[in-house]
Amino acid sequence: MQELVGKHIVLGLSGGVACYKTAHLCRLLTKAGATVQVVMTEAAEQFITPVTMQALSGRTVYTSQWDAREGNNMPHINLSREADAIVIAPCSADFVGKLAQGRADELLSLLCIARPSSGCRCCWPRP
Ligand SMILES: Cc1cc2nc3c(=O)[nH]c(=O)nc-3n(C[C@H](O)[C@H](O)[C@H](O)COP(=O)(O)O)c2cc1C
């Protein structure tokens, strides 16, 4: 857990019932000393609210690639480059398909493909 101290994690939620578990994961990450920036797909918002994730992470949640709060208007670039790691949990079957196909029609998939490949390591959950 010590290795998370001072790390900046983008925690991406896609649409699945397991979004409720990500609330706990968010708390565990912050407790371990990481800062957590939550990004949610539209479908994820059907399962848990950005308000809950904001309260747990202490940061405003990003849900749109058109979010204008970034000075350069490119949240996908900034979020991706600032992160030490991007964790997608839960990762829907739809989202896996998107990543595999390089589709990027919303913020979370867009920031994933904006990530330099040198910083990527794919870790699937072990059974
Ligand atoms: C009640 C409900 C539960 C769902 N649970 C899952 C799930 O556990 N895993 C999954 O891959 N998709 C699940 N889905 C389907 C996704 O929410 C759906 O494919 C959605 O388009 C995913 O969008 P996203 O990948 O942009 O977040 C569920 C849908 C519903 C209505």
Give domain limits for the chain. Answer: 2-114
Which helix (H) or strand (E) element contains residue 17?
none
For the Cβ of 48 lying below 6 angstroms from any atom of ligand 1, the answer is: no
User: Which pLDDT does position 15 carry in this prediction?
Assistant: 98
Which helix (H) or strand (E) element contains residue 112?
helix 107-113
Residue 93 C-beta-side C-alpha neighbours within 13 Å: 0
Contact of 96 with 12, CB cutoff 8 Å: no
- Tell me which fold the domain 2-114 belongs to: Rossmann fold (3.40.50)
Block mean pLDDT (10 aa), the chain, length 127: 92 98 98 98 98 98 94 94 96 97 97 84 63
For the Cβ of 96 lying below 6 angstroms from any atom of ligand 1, the answer is: no
User: Which pLDDT does position 116 carry in this prediction?
Assistant: 82
Distance from the CA of 35 to the center of ligand 1, in angstroms?
27
pTM of the full predicted structure? 0.94
User: Which pLDDT does position 126 carry in this prediction?
Assistant: 55
